[in-house]
Homo-oligomer: A and B are copies of this chain.
């Protein structure tokens, strides 16, 4: 059900087409949730059926675009969901499963695994830092749209919740990089001892 509310939340900042939502999920919003067009379009229909969003066809628009807007019921449904107690999903981490069973593999393969883990999160880190910076310097479109429709007194809180979310992801990425590097250090120490035993001086 999270996709449903991620879409509602997005439309809570600004009306948008399915295409724009999909693009956001593939970029900025993708830090927290993502979905492909084949999932987004049917979900938009379902939300329209529920009366939580409203889609308008612009007759003058040659492309068959539909712009969706959050309804009052949609706002209420979103509010209810975000305030509901979290149900944490089970842990599922293919990287850890691989590492655990890499104990029959050559050092170079284990090294490659950890280096690419670090590289993956360095990538994420760079992306998220750019978005975070855009939020604090007022360049971030989505954020500006959201602030524009809310009283100035609430602006600090609106910005802070998003910054906290990005800061959390940034800290996670930094942790994964540091973890992978520490893991490599510990493995190299083990391998260098093994070598000394194999070829004593």
Q: Chain A interface (Cβ within 8 Å of chain B)?
A: 2, 5-6, 9, 12, 30-34, 78-79, 81-83, 85-86, 88-105, 109-110, 113, 116-117, 120, 124, 153-154, 156-158, 160-162, 164-165, 167-169, 171-172, 175-176, 179, 183, 186-187, 190, 194
Contact = CB atoms under 8 A, between A and B. Distances in A.
Contacts of A95: 86, 88
Contacts of A32: 91-93, 96-97, 100
A34 B93 CA distance: 10
Nearest to A109: B83
Contacts of A100: 9, 32, 161-162, 165
Contact of A79 (B12, B83, B104, B110): B104
Nearest to A191: B157
B101 A12 contact: yes
Contacts of A172: 172, 175
What is the total number of copies of this protein in its complex?
A: 2
Contacts of A186: 160, 164
A136 to B, nearest CB: 14
A113 B187 CA distance: 39
Given A82-B101, A157-B187, 18 more contacts: A9-B100, A9-B101, A30-B91, A32-B92, A34-B90, A88-B120, A91-B124, A99-B164, A100-B162, A103-B154, A103-B158, A110-B161, A153-B194, A156-B194, A157-B190, A164-B186, A171-B175, A171-B179
